[in-house]
């Protein structure tokens, strides 16, 4: 198969990875994409490392059926715990969202006080702190797990009093630490960025790792001569393990367009 025509594979525990798909569509409009959302087993962030690694291995195996030329882990939890294992077992280039987000935060911070919010598992891994300190060990990193944000986004509760109250509870400790940069350490979180800004104030820079991840994808594809030449029309396919209609309904909020056909498959 011609490498330039092969699709990019993307997986996430649910719907949140569509923020990465949106960035891919905008920045690499000639590329075809196969998306796998493990909606039957969302959230990953409350699960053990061994379970997260097991699910991630299964997700990659599913995407490989489509001859993907690279795989993006659009899930901070999987990126935190499973990336080394996935790279060990599979030859296809695999890109996580942690390193690109960390690099963006290092560039953005002015007072060297960076906050990270994510699922319980992502925060427990310390992956962002490690990645930031590799670049600049002087930066102080303050982390906060926000387990209720994912179900709020999956339900479509993106604004309003409930979302605001939850955000105030989670973010108050970070505000107290005078952070000037906040990493949205879960691909669901950009959808509630307006609520987060309300709590922290507009002067705090919010880092969405999706844009940075796409830059890394472009570099990987250029390095392997697999960047699409634009001669064929891109195709987008979406697979979920539960509730395609719900995915379709919420998905357009992520993509800013109708998702189209969503196929339901059993977990691998």
Domain layout of the chain by residue ranges: 3-96+211-264, 98-209
Note the pLDDT of residue 180: 98
d(CA 205, CA 181): 5
Structure letter (DSSP) for residue 245: H
Q: Which residues of the chain have pLDDT under 50?
A: 1
Find, among 51, 75, 83, 32, the residue nearest to 238 by Cα: 32
Helical spans, DSSP H, in the chain: 18-27, 49-64, 76-89, 98-108, 120-125, 127-135, 149-154, 160-176, 193-200, 209-223, 244-255
> Tokens standing for 148?
């209720």
Q: pLDDT tens, 183-235?
A: 999 988 998 999 999 999 999 999 998 888 999 999 999 999 999 988 888 99
Note the pLDDT of residue 267: 65
What pTM, to 2 d.p., does this model score? Answer: 0.90
- Among residues 70, 75, 146, 163, the one annotated as catalytic is 75
H-helix or E-strand containing 182?
A: strand 181-185
Note the pLDDT of residue 260: 72
Q: Is 65 helix (H, G, I), strand (E, B) or coil?
A: coil
Residue range 98-209 in CATH 3.40.50.1860: yes
Note the pLDDT of residue 258: 65
The CATH number of 3-96+211-264 is which of 3.40.50.1360, 3.40.30.10, 3.40.50.1860, 3.20.140.10? 3.40.50.1860
How would you list the strands of the sheet with 33-37, edge to edge?
A: 94-95, 70-73, 8-12, 33-37, 236-240, 262-264
Active site residue 75: yes
Active site residue 146: no
- Among residues 70, 146, 163, 186, the one annotated as catalytic is 186
Are residues 82 and 54 in contact, defined by beta-carbon separation less than 8 angstroms? no
Domains 3-96+211-264 and 98-209 share a fold: yes
Note the pLDDT of residue 1: 46
């Amino acid at each position: 198969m011609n490498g330039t025509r092969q699709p990019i594979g993307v997986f996430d525990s649910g719907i949140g990875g569509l923020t990465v798909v949106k960035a891919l569509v905008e920045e690499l409009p000639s590329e075809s994409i196969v998306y796998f959302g493990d909606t039957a087993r969302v959230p990953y962030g409350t699960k053990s490392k061994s379970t997260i690694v097991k699910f991630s291995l299964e997700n990659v195996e599913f995407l490989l059926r489509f001859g993907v030329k690279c795989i993006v882990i659009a899930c901070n939890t999987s990126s935190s715990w499973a990336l080394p294992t996935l790279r060990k077992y599979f030859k296809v280039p695999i890109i996580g969202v942690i390193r690109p987000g960390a690099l963006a935060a290092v560039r953005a911070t002015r007072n060297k006080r960076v906050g990270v919010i994510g699922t319980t598992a992502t925060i427990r891994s310390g992956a962002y702190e490690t990645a930031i300190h590799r670049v600049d060990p002087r930066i102080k990193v303050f982390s906060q797990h926000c387990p209720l944000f994912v179900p709020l986004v999956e339900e479509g509760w993106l604004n309003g009093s409930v979302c605001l109250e939850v955000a105030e509870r989670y973010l108050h400790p970070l505000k107290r630490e005078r952070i000037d940069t906040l990493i949205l350490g879960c691909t669901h979180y950009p959808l509630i960025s307006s609520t987060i800004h309300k709590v922290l104030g507009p002067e705090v820079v919010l880092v969405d790792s999706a844009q940075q991840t796409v830059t890394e994808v472009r570099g990987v594809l250029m390095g392997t001569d697999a960047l699409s030449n634009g001669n064929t029309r891109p195709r987008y396919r979406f697979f979920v393990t539960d509730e395609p209609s719900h995915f379709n309904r919420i998905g357009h909020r992520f993509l800013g367009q109708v998702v189209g056909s969503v196929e339901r498959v059993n977990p691998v």
